[in-house]
Structure formats: structure tokens, C-alpha cells
Amino acid sequence: MKILPEKTVERLSEYRRTLLKCLEEDKSYIYSYELAEMHNITAVQVRRDIMFIGYSTSNRKGYNVQELIKVIGSIIDPMEVLNVGVVGLGNLGKAISMYFIGKRPKLNLVATFDLDPKKIGVEINGVKCYSIDRLREIIINKEISVAILTVPMYSAQEMAKLLVQAGIKGILNFTTVNLSVPDDVYLEEYDMITSMEKVGYFVKKHTGKSR
């Protein structure tokens, strides 16, 4: 299958999260319009995304939830387990680590890193924190290919450079710095400030409080 657009991959991941919740609630089938309403998009968009990954159904009950979860997983999940490291074990890094562990079997958090001597050796659900000085060594030994970056903004670019040199192929950037990485490294940047400003803008528009 050809490479999917980034937005399509995002929506497929969101669909799966919703479908897993449906399974927990003993819901075995779901219509496209139901899935659309849960994600505030159109049923046409849902059907287009699902057809894009080669899944269809003639069942009048809608999509088989369990089947669709399996198909989405076969498309967006890596073939082999990818090991992940969190760089920066401040409040955000710690929260992400605690939330992330066990959420996806094909994405395995195996190490965290920090400069603070008090955090070195600390374990979160069995995942040990290592010194930044051992970054390259641990990344190579534990075959880490994905990094979640939560360091202060002044060290973000230098840390990204060290990660790339150590062999990291994907970075999820939670800092406010727009990073520069080689073309063969996938970079996903999450800017909380921009997201909050976007929320604020639409709240303003909906409440009619523009000035």
C-alpha cells in the first residue's frame, strides 16, 4: 500500500481508540455516521478513510468493530515492535511515560533520560531513567528508534542532533522549538501553545467576543 497522508493516519489512530472503547462497552458493530459524530467529521470522510485502507462491509449492521480494529492495526502499526525512549523526565516527561506504558504493544517504552542526578536510576513501571551522558550507548544497546523529546527549549535542537547521531529515526517533539532534522528522520511536533491559541480563537468566534 502507498504511504497514507498524515491526516489520514491521525484519523485512523483516533478511530481505533474509539473502536476499542466500543468493544469495552460490548458494541460489536458501528455505522460510519456514528463514528463520524464521535469525531466531529462527516460520514463521507469516515467512509473514504476506511475504503482507503481496503476495508468495506455489506453488513447492514455497519462495520464490524473487531475486524476494523484489526485492519487499522495492520496498516498503521509497525511490523516489528519499535523501542521508544523519553528524553527529559520533568513533569511532562514523567506524565507521558506513565501514560504511554502498555498503551500500544508495537511501541515499547524501554528507557528515559535526564540530566538531574536525582532522577538517574529512578524507575517508572519498570522503565529506568539513564543519564544523558549515556544517551548514545543506551539507544544503541536497547535498539531505540523513536524518541519523545520533553527537554527545555534551550537544549532542544542540540538534543535532537544527539538523538539523530545515535540512530533515532523518529522524534515526537513536545518542546516549543521548531527542530531541524535530516530528511530520513520523521519529526512530529506538538505545540501546546498553538493548540491552546487555536481553542481560544474558536471559543472567541463561537461566543461572539471578538474585538
| For residues 162-167, average pLDDT | 96
- Domain shared by 117 and 49, yes or no: no
Whole-number Cα distances in Å, 59 to 31, 39, 56, 68, 85: 10, 22, 9, 13, 42
Is the residue at 210 inside a domain? no
Is the residue at 184 inside a domain? yes
Is the residue at 96 inside a domain? yes
**d(C-alpha 64, C-alpha 62), whole Å:** 7
188: three-class secondary structure by DSSP: strand
Looking at residue 47, what is its pLDDT? 94
**d(C-alpha 56, C-alpha 98), whole Å:** 36
Domain final residue pick, 24, 52, 76 = 76
Task: Supply the CATH number for residue 180's domain.
Answer: 3.40.50.720
- Domain shared by 126 and 42, yes or no: no
Question: Would you state the cell numbers that stand for residue 191, as one nine-digit string?
Answer: 505545540
| For residues 92-98, average pLDDT | 93
**pTM, full prediction:** 0.78
Does the structure show a pLDDT above 50 at 6? yes
Q: Which of 47, 36, 44 is nearest to 14 (CA)?
A: 36
56 burial type by CB count under 10 A (0-12 exposed, 13-18 middle, 19+ buried)? exposed
Domain final residue pick, 35, 61, 76 = 76
Phi-psi region of 116 (alpha: psi -120 to 50; beta: other; left: phi over 0): beta
State the chain's mean pLDDT as an integer: 91
Does the structure show a pLDDT above 60 at 110? yes
Is the residue at 118 inside a domain? yes
**d(C-alpha 196, C-alpha 162), whole Å:** 30
- At 180, the amino acid letter reads S
Least confident span in 55-64, 106-115, 150-159 = 55-64
**d(C-alpha 129, C-alpha 119), whole Å:** 7
Q: What is the number of structural domains in the chain?
A: 2
Residue pair 171/187 in contact by the 8 Å Cβ criterion: yes
Task: Supply the CATH number for residue 48's domain.
Answer: 1.10.10.10
Looking at residue 208, what is its pLDDT? 63
Backbone torsions φ then ψ of 140, nearest 5 degrees: -70, -50
Beta-sheet pairing, 127-131 with 123-124: antiparallel
Looking at residue 210, what is its pLDDT? 45
Looking at residue 160, what is its pLDDT? 97
Whole-number Cα distances in Å, 10 to 7, 17, 181, 201: 5, 11, 22, 23
- Domain shared by 55 and 141, yes or no: no
Quote the domain boundaries for residue 24.
Answer: 6-76
Is the residue at 199 inside a domain? no
